[in-house]
Structure 1
Amino acid sequence: MAVPVPRQRDTPATESAQAAQPAAAHTAAPQASLTLLVIEDDPAGGLTVPEILDADGHRIRLRTARNLTEAARLLTHDVHCILLDLSLPGTGSASAGTGSRTAVATDTAVDQLATLREVLRIAPHHAVLVLTAEADAGRAAEAVRVGAQDFLFRDELDGRLLSRAIRYAVERKRADIAQYKLAESKLRAQENARLERGLLPNPLLEGSDLRFAARYRPGRSRALLGGDFYDTVRTPDGTVHAMIGDVCGHGPDEAALGVELRIAWRALTLAGLCGDELLSTLQEVLEVERPCDEIFATLCAVDISPDGRRAGLCLAGHPAPLISRPGRRARLLPYENSGPALGLLPKARWPRRQVELGGTWSLMLYTDGLIEGRIGEGKERLGQDGMVEMINRHLDRGLSGEGLLEASVTEARRLNGGELTDDVAVVLLSRNEP
């Protein structure tokens, strides 16, 4: 039996036959008129409606398809809504057997919903209306549950009702897509925040007289994720261990690797490892966990004696820390004979160098994002020497702790002419002799 589908008197005959490109997302602003694609097996029959108008009085354009193959060709970017006849033969109707009447009816229902699911698959960004008989109200409701925006009964269909249903379906689909994107964005932000909490741990310094401050700022191409990581812990013997590192590359894989290295460093440190033994084990962790063999990580590790006057320093391809003392200019700690970055050379060694700190001091660990920013319009970079001068200027102003770090990162951004391209992490440990 022919399905009563609304027809427009002035629809060009060639429109339903033209070839089309794959469907595109309907996230742009509404066009001057809407286009409806009708999928039914007898487009020549059915109810004739003079014209269907949208809310602004524009005529809704009509395209027709006899089957899903033809519908896929006609799903151009300007199609806003699909009207699917639920009596269209399903993809598996030919395989129906000779069972009971109830079994045949069940198979037909499954076939009809399978056809709807196929329409939703090939047109995930389009609004979909289903057309059915009033006796099939249960099936129509199930179609909405599967993913259709609304359903219409053949016996009640007219141009005004169809026009309103199309507008409603299109707006509801747009709202659904917007809500999905919002939920996806919130989920991504939550995942990033969890990962950032792994990158930015709480220092374990209970019982120590050292003061701790830190700043972390991802590069401009990322909102939260970065490959820089740091940590600070105090072991039972009173030694304070601090570390800062940088995984080469950017993105979730590198950030996840940074979290793994930080957690491994904390566990190994609390287990009593230090210096070359600790870094050798960290390299083994990196080699197992990195997504490809080209990934490496730089790292700076210091262990400060319980009396706070001496420190051991290990560098794995990382910039040397900066130390400042009262009455002296800030300077870089010695960095000769440092070892390679983790993951570059098998069986590498990382010498531990003893450093005298004194009674009152501040020790700043940082990643290369702070020193690789440009200065002005040219290609010159801030570099370690420029960073030392910058820190000394801030120290002369009396800045310390959080204020010193914030001023330093802010000035590096200003000199760069905007956000720094690489991630920046800075850790400051300070001690005042009683």
Structure 2
Amino acid sequence: MLVSEHLQDAGLDVSLTWVRTLDEAVESLDVDCVLLDLGLPDATGIPALERLLAAGAPAVVVLTGLTGGDTGVQAVAAGAQDYLVKDEVDGQKLSRAVRYAVQRRRLEATDRELYRSLVRAEETNRLERALLPKPLVKDEGLEVRVGYRAGRDGVLGGDFYDVVERPDGTVLAIVGDVCGHGPDEAALGATLRTAWRTLVLTGTRPGDILGLLEVVLEAERARPEVFTTVAMLVIAPGRGSADMYLAGHPVPLVLGPPSELPPTHRRGRALGIPVGGTWHAQVLDLGPSWRLMMYTDGLLEATVEGGPERLGKTGLLAVVDRALVDQGEPVDLVDRVLHDVRTLHGGDLVDDAAVVVLGWGA
């Protein structure tokens, strides 16, 4: 009765729910603020507050009959937003305590969400650095351009790429796509990318790399149905040819114009698929001047102007050729292709997309 009168005197418009026990209070927490008496029939002191908070209570103002400050300070330290001594309460004090407690609680919730957001952003940045490293290439005559765009939901997927030059001048490049989205897939993609670079730097024979990468995949994946598609190029030191390995992945483009798809008669299965078969190199005769583009299927799955039609390989070839013949201000080809595909789609892509362009003598 006193609480109701105090709030009325202070002109605070509230809907008041009163219960006798902590058990009842735990069942009535769909409120903005709780006034908690620390002397209830079924709970007393700080343990009563701790139980209420553990049940998901919103802002809590503790009411204590003790005039000493220790109990109130302990209550605030335990998670209450404020405390009041019963005999010293009037309408203004109670109204102010309730309003301030609700605002403090909202601020605390906002701060927690901001902190979580910052932590998630930092985790995403770490995963991006692992998935999308700086190419390790010393040959200044070799064009190497890379790019990545996250999908519509902003969740980092399992797309990854890397380019590494060996001491003998051979350059190996990979683009891969772990099926699915989320932190598990991103972490697996980062693991596979790191494992691939390790295998390249330690001089592993190119024909053995994908098999060893599959061993890593099977050991690290969270579920047995997770698989990964991969395209890998091994560019000869003389730069006139390359070996292409395909593990269930879209074939790289030979850039023009006109750009085209090289013949593919040595495709292999995706990594992690429990069927027979291995991966064999297909030799690409590149000539003295060439450019190749590797990519993930986020580009192919883009829709055209919001309709049901997918961009597909034919549409991607057209986008690339338009970018190549553009006579306007020079722009990075990778950025231009990612921008143009996104524009055709009408916004952020549904799936994330990674692109690598390699060139020589162009």
Q: Same fold (TM over 0.5)?
A: yes
Contact 1:208/1:234 (8 A) holds in 2: no
Contact 1:52/1:163 (8 A) holds in 2: no
Which residue of structure 2 lines up, in the alignment, with residue 65 of structure 1? Answer: 19
Contact 1:81/1:127 (8 A) holds in 2: yes
Instruction: Quote how far apart the aligned CAs of 1:6 are.
Output: 2.4
> In the alignment, does 2:8 pair up with 1:52?
yes
Which residue of structure 2 lines up, in the alignment, with residue 349 of structure 1? Answer: 278
Deviations 1:255-300 (A, max 9, x none): 1111111011111111112433110111111111111111111100
Relative to the length of structure 2, the TM-score reads 0.93
Instruction: Quote how far apart the aligned CAs of 1:90 are.
Output: 6.2
Distance 1:334 1:216 in 2: 26
Which residue of structure 1 lines up, in the alignment, with residue 39 of structure 2? Answer: 87
Which residue of structure 1 lines up, in the alignment, with residue 95 of structure 2? Answer: 163
Counterpart among 101, 116, 129 of residue 197 in structure 1: 129
Query: Could you say if the C-alpha distance between residues 400 and 351 of structure 1 is closer, same or farther in structure 2, counting changes exceeding 3 Å?
Result: farther
Contact 1:243/1:299 (8 A) holds in 2: yes
Contact 1:53/1:60 (8 A) holds in 2: no
The AA in structure 2 aligned to 1:116 is: L
Instruction: Quote how far apart the aligned CAs of 1:335 are.
Output: 1.6
The AA in structure 2 aligned to 1:352 is: A
Contact 2:136/2:164 (8 A) holds in 1: yes
Deviates more, 1:399-408 or 1:161-170: 399-408
Deviations 1:384-408 (A, max 9, x none): 1222222222222258996222221
Secondary structure of the residue that 2:16 maps to in structure 1?
strand
The AA in structure 1 aligned to 2:291 is: S
Distance 2:20 2:351 in 1: 56
Contact 2:164/2:173 (8 A) holds in 1: yes
> In the alignment, does 2:199 pair up with 1:263?
no
Secondary structure of the residue that 2:270 maps to in structure 1?
coil
Distance 1:208 1:284 in 2: 34
Distance 2:308 2:94 in 1: 63
Secondary structure of the residue that 2:68 maps to in structure 1?
helix
Q: In percent, how many aligned pairs have the same letter?
A: 43
> In the alignment, does 2:34 pair up with 1:6?
no
RMSD: 2.2
Secondary structure of the residue that 1:131 maps to in structure 2?
strand
Distance 1:67 1:146 in 2: 20
Contact 1:298/1:341 (8 A) holds in 2: yes
Deviations 1:147-187 (A, max 9, x none): 00011112211122111111111111111111111111111
The AA in structure 2 aligned to 1:75 is: L
Relative to the length of structure 1, the TM-score reads 0.78
Query: Could you say if the C-alpha distance between residues 255 and 404 of structure 1 is closer, same or farther in structure 2, counting changes exceeding 3 Å?
Result: same
Instruction: Quote how far apart the aligned CAs of 1:222 are.
Output: 2.0
Deviations 1:115-135 (A, max 9, x none): 1100111233x1101122444
* Count of residue correspondences: 362
State how 1:244-283 maps to structure 2 within 5 Å.
Answer: 244-283=175-214
Secondary structure of the residue that 1:287 maps to in structure 2?
helix
The AA in structure 1 aligned to 2:121 is: A
Which residue of structure 1 lines up, in the alignment, with residue 170 of structure 2? Answer: 239
Contact 2:253/2:259 (8 A) holds in 1: yes
Which residue of structure 1 lines up, in the alignment, with residue 217 of structure 2? Answer: 286
The AA in structure 2 aligned to 1:88 is: L
Q: Which has the higher contact order (CA 8 A, sep 6+)?
A: 2
Secondary structure of the residue that 2:267 maps to in structure 1?
coil
> In the alignment, does 2:236 pair up with 1:305?
yes
Distance 1:285 1:190 in 2: 26
Query: Could you say if the C-alpha distance between residues 81 and 428 of structure 1 is closer, same or farther in structure 2, counting changes exceeding 3 Å?
Result: same
Distance 2:269 2:219 in 1: 18
Instruction: Quote how far apart the aligned CAs of 1:315 are.
Output: 0.4
Counterpart among 309, 315, 319 of residue 246 in structure 2: 315
